[in-house]
Amino acid sequence: MPHVDTYHHAHLRAALLAAAETEIAEKGVEDFSLRRVAKRTGVSHSAPKHHFGDARGLLTALAAKGFQRLISAQNERKAIAGPKAVDQLLAAGLGYIDFALQNPALFRLMFASDRPNKDDPELSSACGAAYQHFITQALEVGSEPDQATGIYAIVHGVADLLVSGRIITMQSMTASERDFRILQIFIKNLPIINQ
Amino acid sequence: MPHVDTYHHAHLRAALLAAAETEIAEKGVEDFSLRRVAKRTGVSHSAPKHHFGDARGLLTALAAKGFQRLISAQNERKAIAGPKAVDQLLAAGLGYIDFALQNPALFRLMFASDRPNKDDPELSSACGAAYQHFITQALEVGSEPDQATGIYAIVHGVADLLVSGRIITMQSMTASERDFRILQIFIKNLPIINQ
DNA sequence: TGTACATCAGTGAACGCGCGTTCACTGATGTAC
DNA sequence: TGTACATCAGTGAACGCGCGTTCACTGATGTAC
């Protein structure tokens, strides 16, 4: 089956998404080019049309996938954390920040880009699910809604400031030093955690 | 002096910055075009070169100006707030968020774009000054450094989530309803404020 | 099992566009003497 | 005060480039009979 990998192969959609992710990681969201993504995938530059319509469609699908992985990153941390609700919440926060630091360009695509189509149902549902996922965990430690929103904001704020390089003092830290410092920031500010 | 406004006029630099700000507000950072900025200013598209070198230079200068105005926005709120350190800090937080909501594209240019040159001394100094300005206020209420960082993160997090449209429940609020809700988020989460 | 046909996912040439940048130029201004 | 000259901030034509998109096409696959 010599053509399986190059012709009608079932994985082109996934391959294009992976290549688009590499593209934004290397070039940044602002220099994204659909033609380069096709080139990376080893396919003609009009091939993506059949799967995503246009460049915006591909970036929309990629952003939606990002929100799913944002949840996964939280779950990975939670799996190795203690069972108490507060430890699960802190783990989720660290997982959220892990995702941002490991996928800065994708994080920007999800939160700070106009290129994905926010009216796309798949994207808005993935985005809403990620938001609800975190908020639910915050409510499970006994927070009021405003507290839960604030916990989300502080987690997102730390993530965004680290991605944009505005918390200078963490840039030379090891991962575990950084985790410790982030936990200190949470613990010293969020009374619900210390109850 | 018939030529003052069109030729050798001292204000072209400022006019280009203003036009660039309008440009990103209308088109978004990702669709910025130097040629359109020149057109808005009523000047040939090669004129900006004399003032900013290239498009990157103009966006770098605009981002630096943004950080200065981020401080001004905090000071405007502080001027109408009570004199106690905690009230001044809350006012600064609201001012930070005012700026983000009133200048969403500029906020993105400052925090989530690769286009400005982060090695530019004017930009990095303006950015550092804005960071220090907020942190100093947070320390003045008696925070430890980790607390101050967390207060900054929650303010920045709320600002960024509002700009990106991820805190859905605030989008239909009036400004004063929103202020009230934001203050609740701060007050219910930051123990230092209630001491 | 064989044939006809529709569908689907690719190809690659071609398109027009706006972009940033370059370049020779020009006219106003400032300065030296 | 007048003249010569350097500098500066603009103009506008021209450049090459990569972009997204379109389009006619082709070959593989699936299905009906």
Taking contacts as CB-CB distances below 8 angstroms, the residues of chain A near B160 are: 111-112, 156-157, 160
Q: How many CB atoms lie within 10 A of CB A69?
A: 18
pLDDT bucket at B88, cuts 50 / 70 / 90: very high
Taking contacts as CB-CB distances below 8 angstroms, the residues of chain B near A164 are: 111-112
Please judge whether A147 and B188 are an interchain contact, meaning their C-beta atoms are less than 8 angstroms apart: yes
pLDDT bucket at A9, cuts 50 / 70 / 90: low
Instruction: Quote the DSSP letter at residue A171.
Output: T
pLDDT bucket at A56, cuts 50 / 70 / 90: very high
Distance from CA(A42) to C1'(C23), angstroms, rounded: 39
Radius of gyration of chain A (CA): 19
Percent residues over pLDDT 90 in chain A: 88
> What nucleotides of chain C have any atom within 7 angstroms of a protein Cβ?
8-13, 18-24, 27-29
For B153, the closest of A112, A118, A161 (CB atoms) is: A161
Please judge whether A153 and B113 are an interchain contact, meaning their C-beta atoms are less than 8 angstroms apart: no
For A188, the closest of B118, B144, B186 (CB atoms) is: B144
pLDDT reported for residue B126: 97
Please judge whether A188 and B113 are an interchain contact, meaning their C-beta atoms are less than 8 angstroms apart: no
B111 touches chain A (CB under 8 A): yes
Helix, strand or coil, per DSSP, at residue A1: coil
* Rounded CA separation B123/B118 (Å): 7
In tens, the pLDDT along A85-98 reads 999 999 999 999 99
The two three-digit tokens of residue A123, written as one number: 């994207």
For B113, the closest of A30, A152, A160 (CB atoms) is: A30
CA distances from A157 to A36, A100, B19, B44, B136 (A): 32, 11, 30, 41, 18
Q: In the block, which residue shows the tokens 């830290």? A: A173
What is the distance in angstroms between the Cα of B12 and the nearest Cα belonging to chain A? Answer: 27
* Rounded CA separation B194/B111 (Å): 30
What angle, rounded to 10 degrees, do the helices at B85-102 and B175-189 form?
Answer: 130
pLDDT bucket at B195, cuts 50 / 70 / 90: confident
The answer to whether strand D lies under 7 Å from the CB of residue A12 is no
The residue-averaged pLDDT of A96-106 equals 98
pLDDT bucket at A121, cuts 50 / 70 / 90: very high
> Under 8 Å CB-to-CB from A33, ≥6 apart: which residues?
A23, A27
Please judge whether B160 and A165 are an interchain contact, meaning their C-beta atoms are less than 8 angstroms apart: no
* Res B2 pLDDT > 50: no
Taking contacts as CB-CB distances below 8 angstroms, the residues of chain B near A114 are: 28, 30-31
pLDDT bucket at B3, cuts 50 / 70 / 90: very low
* Res A7 pLDDT > 50: no
Element (DSSP H or E) covering residue A187: helix A175-189
The answer to whether strand D lies under 7 Å from the CB of residue B44 is yes
Taking contacts as CB-CB distances below 8 angstroms, the residues of chain B near A123 are: none
Q: Nearest Cα to A52, choosing from A15, A22, A26, A27?
A: A15
In tens, the pLDDT along A130-146 reads 999 999 999 999 999 99
* Res A6 pLDDT > 90: no
For A153, the closest of B112, B131, B161 (CB atoms) is: B161
The two three-digit tokens of residue A98, written as one number: 């892990």
Q: What is the mean pLDDT of chain A?
A: 93
pTM above 0.85?
yes
Q: How many CB pairs below 8 Å do chains A and B form together?
A: 120
In tens, the pLDDT along A138-190 reads 999 999 999 999 999 999 999 999 999 988 789 899 999 999 999 999 999 99
A166 touches chain B (CB under 8 A): yes
* Rounded CA separation A71/A133 (Å): 7
